[in-house]
Amino acid sequence: MPSVLARTFALLAIALGGHAPPAYAQNVGAGLMDASLVAFVNRSQRTLYIGFSPQPGRPAPFSWSPDCRRINGQVVLPPGQTCAVSVPPSAGASRFCAMENLLPPGKTPDCFAAQRDNLTIIEANFASREGCARLQDNPESLMRSCVWYDVNVSPEGCTNAEWSANLCAQSGGAAYNVPVQLFCAGQPTFTCQGPPATTGAKYPLKCGAPGADCVGGVDPACQQAYFFPMSTSGPNKYPASKPQPIARCPEGQKLFVIFPEGP
C-alpha cells in the first residue's frame, strides 16, 4: 500500500538518554548538507529495534550518530536511551518502524511492509524548497530541508470505501505494535497508544479521533494518526477541505520519535 505521505503530499503536505557502546557504531554517509535530524527516545521498559526504509529508488546517504548500535540494519534502542539519524531531502517519502525482536541474520527491516506485519508506521517525507512549502509560505524564504511527519495505523487492505463500510474491520488488522509520540517544537504533536481494541481492525484505543476537525495536541478528540488512507480522489473521497493528521518539522528543528511505556 503506498505511503500516506506520498498520496497526500499535494494537500499541504525527545528527550535525552544514555549511550550504546560506540564499538558497535556504524555510520552511513558523513558530513550531510541540509539534512533533517530525527531522534529516537525509548521511554519504555523494553528494548526496541528500529528500522528505516527510505523511498525506494532514491539516493539517501543517511547517517546514524556514532553512539547508535546497529545489527542487521536495525538500531538497538534499550530502555532510557536515545539515538539520532541525519537524513537528506533525497530520501523522499520514507518510513520508520520499531520491532520488539531482532531480525534473523541476513534479514534487514522493510518498513514498507509494516502494514503486512502489523507494525506501527512512522511516516517521514524528507523534502527541500518547494517540497517544504505550504500555501501561506513566503516563496522568497523556501526551506533548504524539512520533514513532513505522521503516524499511520491503517490496515494493509484498508481503503476509503472499506472504512466507510465497516471501519476496515476485514482489511488485515491495524498497523500497530508499539505506542509512539511524534514531537517537533512549535508544531503539532501526535500521540498514538493502546491498548488495541478487541474487535474490528483492533485499532489502538488512545490514538485520537479519525476524521475530527482538529489535529495533534493533547486533546484526544483530535486526529492523531491515519486510520485509513484519507484519499481525496477516487471513490469515497475524503473532503479536501478537512485537515489530515500530518505536520511539517521545519529546517533547523529536530523531529523526536518517542516510544512511551504502555501497550
**Residue 18 pLDDT exceeds 60:** no
Provide the β-strand partners of residue 255.
38
Give the per-residue pLDDT at 137. 67
Give the per-residue pLDDT at 59. 77
Confidence of residue 261 (pLDDT cuts 50, 70, 90): very high
Q: Is the dihedral of CA 102, 106, 108, 112 positive or negative?
A: negative
**Residue 63 pLDDT exceeds 70:** yes
| 151 close to 180: Cβ distance less than 8 angstroms | yes
Give the per-residue pLDDT at 15. 33
CB atoms near residue 9 (< 10 Å): 17
Q: What is the pLDDT of residues 135-175, one digit of tens each?
A: 666 766 789 999 999 999 999 999 999 999 999 999 999 99
Give the per-residue pLDDT at 153. 98
| 146 close to 184: Cβ distance less than 8 angstroms | no
Give the per-residue pLDDT at 233. 92
| 147 close to 126: Cβ distance less than 8 angstroms | yes
Give the per-residue pLDDT at 12. 38
CATH class of 4-259: mainly beta
pTM (predicted TM-score):
0.87
d(CA 122, CA 75): 15
- Identify the top-confidence range among 7-21, 132-146, 198-212: 198-212
